[in-house]
Amino acid sequence: MAAQENTDFAAVDLIRSKRDGDPLTPEQVDWLIAAYTDGRVGDEQMAAMAMAIHFQGLGPDELSRWTAAMIASGTTMDFSGLSRPTADKHSTGGVGDKITLPLAPLVAACGVAVPQLSGRGLGHTGGTLDKLEAIPGWRADLTNAEMLRQLEDVGAVVCAAGSGLAPADKKLYALRDVTGTVESIPLIASSIMSKKIAEGTGALVLDVKVGSGAFMKTPERAAELARTMVGLGTAAGVRTTALLTDMEAPLGRTAGNGLEVAESVEVLAGGGPADVVELTVALAREMLAGAEVDADPAAALADGRAMDVWRRMIAAQGGDPDASLPRARHTEQVRAEADGVVGSMDAYAVGVAAWRLGAGRARKEDPVQAAAGVEWHRRPGEAVRAGDVVFTLHTDSPERIPGARAALDAAVTITTTAPEPRPIVLDRITAD
């Protein structure tokens, strides 16, 4: 799928074509992605193209070729030599979304290898690598040989993607973030799927979040993104399904790196919040079905097998599974102002508060605080009295607390009647 040596185009002509709604040819797509990757097309021209795609979209053939060209911009991985099938999960990002942490060892405990190449948080959504780096000694960067060895020996690995996988996406992702084109469904779909297809997993489950704390605010937009990604994965020979899951309220009881690790360990120990357990098991079932392995993930969670894999997975990457997690130097409580029932909790507001406390970053190079974040002691549907603690704020920087409190000012509604329970899994999308 690489650009042909004797084929050349003018980037401005391609920008005009897409701006005016004309489809790009396969040769034009190949050339554009290759030329942008090696610097022959500059950021200013690719920014214009991204905006043109944002407004005009990409047709199915264009999108398929665009994704293939991004994969061809780098290397691909091969897990065919492993003694067990592979399956992976990708979440589009949410607040309190620590699901990868218990999910990877759970699926591995059921006989499927999980090569989970993860990222860091940006803005109000947390990053899996930031969470795991709260564990003393744990390291995210592995060589391919180390990754393969751990997959064979342990069954699960969560690590950073190497720079060789879809380098075109790395450049384009950073550009989209500063040009207002993050929300483009074709660009989101090709970004996610180019990396996941290049990763080489046999089966893929997509957790597409819907609601306040998600990038997709409506079920219609989320379903469109899910269908697009399932189509790309299936066409590339990856068994792909998607679950649309609720992100109107945050997941679990915590948002923040070390706080979410502690909550994940509770789940692996047989406890933890019911919504985190439910979604972990639901995604595990999808991954096992995709890998064509008949096993009961709920049993593997209950009998301790998943916890055993977790401990081995953390130790294999230099972490100490018995070490104490960092504790914030400062905490502050936010209390309810009235009696009643929690009617709603705005996931986005909670995510912003955690970010302002130091759990997230505004730029990729910013550091994060391992102990910062938000704990909530009530969830929608639960009773509350005036003066009860609703949130506990955690940070090493007390000057950050007023901004976090401001973000939470209208995050919770207190009503006289309990709201209708919201399902965690809203829909399931397949290629059928």
Which tokens go with 146? 């180390």
Task: Give me the chain's average pLDDT, please.
Answer: 94
The secondary structure of 371-427 as a DSSP string is T-EEEES--TT-EE-TT-EEEEEEES-GGGHHHHHHHHTTSEEEESSPPPPPPSEEE
Would you state the pLDDT for residue 43?
A: 94
Q: How confident is the model at residue 6 (pLDDT cuts 50, 70, 90)?
A: very low
- 167 by Cβ neighbours in 10 Å (0-12 / 13-18 / 19+) ranks as middle
Task: Give the whole-angstrom CA distance, residue 214 versus residue 383.
Answer: 26
What's the confidence (pLDDT) of residue 1?
A: 46
Question: If you search the block for the tokens 């995210």, which residue do you land on?
Answer: 140
- pLDDT value at position 3? 42
Strand arrangement, sheet containing 254-255: 254-255, 373-376, 389-395, 330-335
Can you tell me the distance from the alpha carbon of 61 to that of 372, in angstroms, rounded to the nearest whole number? 45
Reported as a pLDDT band with limits 50, 70 and 90, residue 121 is: low
Domains of the chain from N-terminus onward: 87-162+197-322 (3.40.1030.10), 330-415 (3.90.1170.30)
At 49 the pLDDT is 97
The whole-number pLDDT of residue 4 equals 43
Q: Please give the backbone phi and psi of residue 334, each rounded to the nearest 5 degrees, phi first.
A: -115, 125
Token output for 432:
């059928």
Given a cut of 80, whether residue 173 has pLDDT beyond it is: yes
- Local confidence band at 221 (pLDDT 50, 70, 90 cut-offs): very high
Concatenate the DSSP letters of all residues of 123-149 into one string: TTB--HHHHHTTSTT------HHHHHH
Structure tokens at 190: 């090709």
Provide the sign of the torsion angle of the four alpha carbons 187, 188, 193, 198, taken in this order.
positive
Percentage of the chain beyond pLDDT 70 is: 97
Q: Tens of pLDDT along 352-409?
A: 999 999 998 777 677 899 999 999 999 999 999 999 999 999 999 999 999 999 999 9
Residue 53 has pLDDT above 60, yes or no: yes
Give yes or no for residue 123 having a pLDDT over 70: no
Question: Measured in whole angstroms, how far is the alpha carbon of residue 358 from the centre of its chain?
Answer: 19
| 69 vs 125, higher pLDDT | 69
Please choose, from the candidates 403, 425, 273, 387, the residue with its C-alpha nearest in 3D space to the C-alpha of residue 349: 403
In total, the chain counts a number of residues equal to 432
pLDDT tens digits for range 175-204:
887 888 888 999 999 999 999 999 999 999
Gap between the Cα atoms of 216 and 59, Å rounded: 20
Per the structure block, which two tokens stand in for 356? 């302002």
**Contact call for residues 50 and 172 (beta carbons, < 8 A):** yes
Token pair of 108, please?
């591995």
User: For residue range 243-291, what is the model confidence (pLDDT) as tens digits?
Assistant: 999 999 999 999 999 999 999 999 999 999 999 999 999 999 999 999 9
Closest to 193 (Cα-Cα) out of 290, 93, 70, 78: 70
Check if the beta carbon of residue 291 is closer than 8 Å to that of residue 86.
yes
Amino acid at site 320: D
Q: Could you list the active site residues?
A: 90, 169, 176, 191, 195
Q: Which two tokens stand for residue 104?
A: 């990877």
Place of tokens 């929608």: 380
